[in-house]
Amino acid sequence: MRWHLATVPGLLPHRCHLASRATGRRTVINAAQERSVVTDIPSHAQVVVIGGGVIGASVAYHLTKLGYCDVVVLERNAIGSGTTWHSAAGLSMTTEDPAFLRNFLYSRSEIQVVERESGLSVGRKVVGRMVFSHRSASFERLRRVEALGRSAGFPLHILTPAETLDLLPILAPKELLGSLWNPDAYRVDPTGLTEALLRIARRRGARVFENAAVTAIESGDQVRSVTTSKGSIRCEIVINCAGVWARQIAAMVGLPLPIVALEHFFVLTKPIAGLPSETPSFRSGDDLFYGREEVGGLLLGVFDENARLINLPDLPADFSFGLLPENWDQLAPYIDKIVERLPVFGQAEIKTFINGPEAFTFDHRYILGESSRTRGFYTLAGMNSGGIGACMGAGRQLAELIITGAPTEDLTPVDICRFQSFEGSDRWLRLVGPDLTSGTYLSRSHSRPGTRNIRRSPVHSLLQAWQANFQPVCGWEVAESFGDSTTDRVHDEVALLESDAGLVDESHFGKIRVSGKSAAGPLQTLVNDVLPGDGRSAARLPMRNARGGVESVPIVVRVAKDEWLLLVEPAETPRLRRFLHAAAPECRVTDETSGWAFFLLAGPRAKHIITELRPTDTGEADWVHIGVTPALACHLETDIAIICPTEYGATLYEFILVHGKRTAPALGPVGSAAVERRRIIVGQPRWNRDLNAFLPDVRCEGLAGPETGTMVLALRPVEGAPAEAYVHAPVWSNRGCVGYITSAATTSDGEVATIARIHGPLEGELWLDTGSGKTKLKRTR
């Protein structure tokens, strides 16, 4: 390995431990803090927050702000220790998700409130942030982020290479395409922010205890008490904000929390001559590194591939302001590329290697919500090295969820119930862990040995024989398309569904049985519609919560008297079970995903095929035989939903494909991508894409909702408009940004079809901001 550095690892000066810097800062604050801290653990508290880092501090701040004042914060060592103190602590808006934009805007304003109310400086310094690009695909993504910022009147700007170099002259011009500039990006002192949040929380009644390690949690179906090294506390609510130790805390109530502790590192150089203090922070997603000016030098960090896992029991019990050993071998593969982009780094002298623990999740979203097993046990953890940027918005979201049950954001993407049971196993987390750090910048599916083929359909071998192209979905191997993956097989499969018929394996869908003599009443209330009366028909029925949001759009099938099967996508299954247990406690709710095979016979000839394959219906019998297989074949709009016990799945699938050709010679297997594309083309909304649990006032009869509320609309570019669309693209009308694209696909004739969430009323024309230009839209439904 050739090092382009003035100082090589063997010649480094003695290691400068950042803990000394943090400890010095804490000395001043602790003098005032100790006067207000009670030393005796109370016997009872309404809420116990486990973890005194910036996440726990934000939760305590927001709970007390909303009126919950009987709050106790427990920290195993010192406030702000663990993972908080060594954070690079940058806050910027550089993602495509509108929810992150709203969180950033909230954080930007609320942190100033925190400074004023606490009387403490949080070290806020506005430096701006630049994301530069050397690849066309990533540069187009930056254009989309700029369009998102424009939708909220937020200052994001695409800069030319020359403009980029004017603001960041240490960057090499070679191959530079440009950058995204966020002038409002800033950084803070992470320990200072933590102390300021807790100072305000204390003034409102919260109590904070250091060196109070949690050793046990007493619970059954409800939390009862927390035992610490200083005593026990009876409580109604426990909030797990323990960072990399959150998995160990969750295990105390039997919750297998899917969090991985990984090494995450950055280096600090000695001062560099001529480097101005106003140098903006920067990031290269292409090259997996980020950086900023720090005390006249550079701070440079890497989101490395093949990240190293941390075995938490190996850490010393008093690990607080500690660091992990320097790991130059892990940094080495990125040195050449960093020096190529930032030549000044090649001549800089490195004074410190900071290697600290961070908590990651495998979908790179934090975990927020209440356990489905233990009432009153909440988690906010797994911040993916973005805890400072997310702490204010996430703390507010959790406090609102606990106190009002109605957060101001849709929490589905971060819901603790989004995970499947296998994803909490130690082995799975060890397998996916090395990819999680780099996954913060790179989009990839897990492909390491052992991470695929976790769950397989009963017809998996048949799909393989038909040359299925599999993609992992919640551990399932799902056939996305068939045949040569280098051609657009999806286009051909969509055409088959539009003209003839195709057979789709959807056995990966969750199957939730709702049963009981009184089951019909609660189900009809939730769906506000008539339930299917027999097993020969099925219906997609939106299931609403008390706020009017859509919790799910299951396919509902009656499988027996007083028994219904709800067919939902696998990611929905855990949280829908939780919702049904709470909303219909008089019903029996069971997960029967493993007990059923599920196929969709789709297309205009589907009904003709099924008529030929099964005997004429007699009486009111729900079940029929298709070949020798007992099955339910239910009419679902233009398609046929077919379910049977799992052990018959392979026989039934093969029988339909072979004998169905007598009626429809073109019949063949079709993948999930074609079904999804067809859905968008016909304008059928999908839960957690176009509809979610937070949205009130959305009607699903057709697509248009009330003109004064939220609408879900099918939109297409007008004739001659550029054919470009993507999820999260802003939609504008005469009165400004009115919504965002939630689904997009290309039709068989090359047009773009979209579904959008629009917040009415609409005025005048609609047009799409693609980041590269404006596209006029027309409503199709």
For range 146-159, the mean pLDDT: 91
Q: How high is the pLDDT of residue 28?
A: 34
**Of 48 and 81, more confident:** 48
For range 510-539, the mean pLDDT: 87
- Written as six digits, the tokens of 454 are 């976790």
Give the three-class secondary structure for 688: coil
- Tell me which of 82-96, 273-287, 604-618, 704-718 is least confident: 704-718
Q: How high is the pLDDT of residue 328?
A: 93
Sheet order of strands, 129-133 included: 157-159, 178-182, 129-133, 281-284, 289-294, 297-302, 260-269, 350-360
Confidence of residue 615 (pLDDT cuts 50, 70, 90): low
Evaluate if residue 24 carries a pLDDT over 50.
no
Q: How high is the pLDDT of residue 86?
A: 80
Evaluate if residue 710 carries a pLDDT over 80.
no
Q: How high is the pLDDT of residue 241?
A: 98
pTM of the model: 0.90
Average pLDDT for the chain:
88
Q: How high is the pLDDT of residue 9?
A: 34
CB 285 within 8 A of CB 49: no
Q: How high is the pLDDT of residue 668?
A: 96
pLDDT over 90, % of the chain: 66
- Written as six digits, the tokens of 430 are 């060890």
| 179-189 per-position pLDDT tens digit | 999 998 888 99
Q: How high is the pLDDT of residue 618?
A: 41
Name, in order, each residue with C-beta under 8 angstroms of 528's C-beta and a sequence gap of 6 or more: 542, 544
Residue 231 pairs in a beta bridge with 228
Confidence of residue 680 (pLDDT cuts 50, 70, 90): very high
Confidence of residue 448 (pLDDT cuts 50, 70, 90): confident
Q: How high is the pLDDT of residue 719?
A: 73
- Written as six digits, the tokens of 418 are 């989004």
Q: How high is the pLDDT of residue 215?
A: 96
pLDDT over 70, % of the chain: 90
CA-based torsion, 197, 198, 203, 205: positive or negative: positive
Q: How high is the pLDDT of residue 720?
A: 66
Q: Which of 434, 394, 396, 389 is nearest to 88 (CA)?
A: 389
- Tell me which of 58-72, 660-674, 737-751 is least confident: 737-751
Confidence of residue 336 (pLDDT cuts 50, 70, 90): very high
| DSSP symbol at 127 | -
Task: Match 């540069």 to its residue by tokens.
Answer: 139
* CA–CA gap between residue 232 and residue 214 (Å, rounded): 9
| 411-431 per-position pLDDT tens digit | 889 999 999 999 999 999 999
Which ranges in 484-534 belong to alpha helices (H)?
A: 489-499, 520-527
Evaluate if residue 10 carries a pLDDT over 70.
no
H-run or E-run covering 19: helix 18-36
Q: How high is the pLDDT of residue 156?
A: 92
Residue 74 pairs in a beta bridge with 50, 209
Q: How high is the pLDDT of residue 692?
A: 87
Q: How high is the pLDDT of residue 518?
A: 84
* CA–CA gap between residue 241 and residue 79 (Å, rounded): 13
* CA–CA gap between residue 624 and residue 329 (Å, rounded): 64
Q: How high is the pLDDT of residue 19?
A: 33
Evaluate if residue 325 carries a pLDDT over 50.
yes
Evaluate if residue 251 carries a pLDDT over 90.
yes
For range 548-562, the mean pLDDT: 90
Q: Which of 141, 124, 123 is nearest to 132 (CA)?
A: 141
* CA–CA gap between residue 132 and residue 341 (Å, rounded): 10
For range 309-321, the mean pLDDT: 86
H-run or E-run covering 779: strand 774-779
CB 151 within 8 A of CB 100: no
Task: Match 């709970």 to its residue by tokens.
Answer: 63
Evaluate if residue 8 carries a pLDDT over 60.
no
Evaluate if residue 703 carries a pLDDT over 50.
no
Evaluate if residue 709 carries a pLDDT over 80.
no
Confidence of residue 616 (pLDDT cuts 50, 70, 90): low
Q: How high is the pLDDT of residue 58?
A: 97
* CA–CA gap between residue 740 and residue 229 (Å, rounded): 50
* CA–CA gap between residue 224 and residue 209 (Å, rounded): 19
Evaluate if residue 56 carries a pLDDT over 90.
yes
Confidence of residue 361 (pLDDT cuts 50, 70, 90): very high
**Of 722 and 17, more confident:** 722
| 277-297 per-position pLDDT tens digit | 899 999 999 999 999 999 999
Confidence of residue 211 (pLDDT cuts 50, 70, 90): very high
HSE value, Cβ hemisphere, 13 Å, CA-based, for 390 = 23
